[in-house]
Amino acid sequence: MKKAKIALLAPLWIPVPPRTYGGIELMLFHLVEELGRRKYEITLFASGDSHVSCKLFPITEKALWLEKGLKNPHAAIIKMLSVVKKTAKSFDLLHNHFSFFMFPLVLDNGLPPMLTTIHQQIDVFYAEAIKSFPQIRFCAISQDAQKSAEEQGIPIIDVIPNGIDPKLYFFNNQPENYLLYLGRLNREKGIVTALDIAKKTGQKLIVAGNIVGAEEWTYFMQEVQPRLNEPNINFVGQVNFTEKIKLLKNAKALLFPIDRREPFGLAMIEAMACGTPVIGFRRGSVPEVVKDGETGFVVDTEEEMIESLKKIDSINRKNCRKLVEEKFTLDMMVGRYEKLYKKIIGR
| Domain residue extents for the chain | 5-163+329-345, 166-327
pLDDT tens digits for range 198-228: 999 999 999 999 887 788 889 999 999 999 9
Residues 6+ apart with CB under 8 A from 296: 253, 254, 272, 277, 278, 279, 280, 290, 315, 320
Q: 5-163+329-345 with 166-327: one CATH topology?
A: yes
- 5-163+329-345 belongs to which CATH class? alpha beta
With residue 158 as reference, give the H or E element that holds it: strand 158-159
Q: How does DSSP assign 178-218, residue by residue?
A: -EEEES--STTTTHHHHHHHHHHHT--EEEE----HHHHHH
pLDDT, one tens digit for every residue, the chain (347 residues): 478 999 999 999 999 999 887 789 999 999 999 999 999 999 999 999 999 999 999 999 999 987 777 778 899 999 999 999 999 999 999 999 999 999 999 998 889 999 999 999 999 999 999 999 999 999 999 999 999 999 999 999 999 999 999 999 999 999 999 999 999 999 999 999 999 999 999 999 999 998 877 888 899 999 999 999 899 999 999 999 999 999 999 999 999 999 999 999 999 999 999 999 999 999 999 999 999 999 999 999 999 999 999 999 999 999 999 999 999 999 999 999 999 999 999 86
Name the CATH topology of 166-327.
Answer: Rossmann fold (3.40.50)
Distance CA 196, CA 125 (A): 33
User: Can you give the pLDDT at residue 347?
Assistant: 62
- Could you tell me if 14 and 50 are in contact, meaning their C-beta atoms sit under 8 angstroms apart? no
pTM for this one?
0.94
Phi first, then psi: give them for residue 338, nearest 5 degrees.
Answer: -55, -45
Q: pLDDT (tens digit, 9 = 90+) per residue, 14-49?
A: 999 998 877 899 999 999 999 999 999 999 999 999
For 192, counting Cβ atoms within 10 Å of its Cβ (0-12 exposed, 13-18 middle, 19+ buried), the class is middle
